[in-house]
Protein backbone atom coordinates (compact mmCIF):
# COMPACT_ATOMS: atom_id res chain seq x y z
CA UNK A 1 0.00 0.00 0.00
CA UNK A 2 1.32 3.42 -0.84
CA UNK A 3 0.66 6.63 1.07
CA UNK A 4 -2.14 7.79 -1.23
CA UNK A 5 -3.96 4.50 -0.73
CA UNK A 6 -3.44 4.75 3.04
CA UNK A 7 -4.92 8.26 3.10
CA UNK A 8 -7.89 7.39 0.86
CA UNK A 9 -11.02 8.46 2.75
CA UNK A 10 -13.23 6.42 0.41
CA UNK A 11 -11.27 3.27 1.24
CA UNK A 12 -10.99 4.03 4.97
CA UNK A 13 -13.99 6.27 5.75
CA UNK A 14 -14.02 5.69 9.52
CA UNK A 15 -10.34 6.29 10.19
CA UNK A 16 -9.21 8.89 7.66
CA UNK A 17 -9.53 12.53 8.61
CA UNK A 18 -9.62 15.15 5.91
CA UNK A 19 -7.38 18.17 6.17
CA UNK A 20 -4.59 16.63 8.21
CA UNK A 21 -1.08 15.92 6.99
CA UNK A 22 0.13 12.40 6.28
CA UNK A 23 2.30 12.56 9.40
CA UNK A 24 -0.67 13.61 11.53
CA UNK A 25 -2.87 10.85 10.07
CA UNK A 26 -0.23 8.23 10.82
CA UNK A 27 0.00 9.47 14.42
CA UNK A 28 -3.78 9.56 14.81
CA UNK A 29 -4.12 6.02 13.48
CA UNK A 30 -1.41 4.68 15.78
CA UNK A 31 -3.04 6.34 18.77
CA UNK A 32 -6.52 5.06 17.88
CA UNK A 33 -5.17 1.57 17.26
CA UNK A 34 -3.44 1.53 20.65
CA UNK A 35 -6.53 2.78 22.48
CA UNK A 36 -8.87 0.37 20.73
CA UNK A 37 -6.48 -2.53 21.37
CA UNK A 38 -6.40 -1.66 25.06
CA UNK A 39 -10.19 -1.30 25.18
CA UNK A 40 -10.68 -4.73 23.61
CA UNK A 41 -8.02 -6.35 25.83
CA UNK A 42 -9.81 -4.92 28.88
CA UNK A 43 -12.98 -6.72 27.83
CA UNK A 44 -14.67 -3.87 26.02
CA UNK A 45 -17.44 -4.92 23.71
CA UNK A 46 -17.31 -3.62 20.17
CA UNK A 47 -20.23 -2.09 18.39
CA UNK A 48 -20.60 -2.77 14.67
CA UNK A 49 -19.01 0.61 13.90
CA UNK A 50 -16.11 -0.02 16.30
CA UNK A 51 -15.54 -3.37 14.60
CA UNK A 52 -15.42 -1.68 11.19
CA UNK A 53 -13.02 0.95 12.57
CA UNK A 54 -10.88 -1.86 14.03
CA UNK A 55 -10.83 -3.65 10.68
CA UNK A 56 -9.69 -0.46 8.93
CA UNK A 57 -6.98 0.14 11.50
CA UNK A 58 -5.80 -3.48 11.30
CA UNK A 59 -5.36 -3.12 7.54
CA UNK A 60 -3.60 0.22 7.91
CA UNK A 61 -1.26 -1.08 10.62
CA UNK A 62 0.13 -3.68 8.22
CA UNK A 63 1.69 -0.78 6.30
CA UNK A 64 2.07 1.79 9.07
CA UNK A 65 5.75 1.31 9.90
CA UNK A 66 6.88 1.45 6.27
CA UNK A 67 4.82 4.55 5.53
CA UNK A 68 5.89 6.30 8.73
CA UNK A 69 9.51 5.72 7.73
CA UNK A 70 8.84 7.11 4.25
CA UNK A 71 7.14 10.24 5.62
CA UNK A 72 9.92 10.77 8.16
CA UNK A 73 12.62 10.37 5.51
CA UNK A 74 10.88 12.82 3.17
CA UNK A 75 10.49 15.31 6.01
CA UNK A 76 14.18 14.98 6.93
CA UNK A 77 15.25 15.51 3.31
CA UNK A 78 13.11 18.67 3.11
CA UNK A 79 14.65 20.01 6.31
CA UNK A 80 18.16 19.36 5.01
CA UNK A 81 17.36 21.00 1.68
CA UNK A 82 15.86 24.02 3.44
CA UNK A 83 18.78 24.26 5.57
Dist CA 82 CA 34 (whole Å): 34
Write the pLDDT tens digit of every residue in 43-64: 987 889 989 999 999 999 999 9
Instruction: State phi, psi for 23 to the nearest 5 degrees.
Output: -60, -45
Share above pLDDT 90 across residues of the chain, in percent, rounded to a whole number: 80
Write the pLDDT tens digit of every residue in 18-31: 999 999 999 999 99
Question: Which residues are within 8 A (CB) of 14 and not within 5 positions of it... i.e. 6 or more apart?
Answer: 49, 52, 53, 56
Sketch the domain layout of the chain as residue ranges: 3-82
Amino acid sequence: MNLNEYLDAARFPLTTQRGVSAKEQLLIDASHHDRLTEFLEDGGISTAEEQKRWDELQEKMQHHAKLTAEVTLAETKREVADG
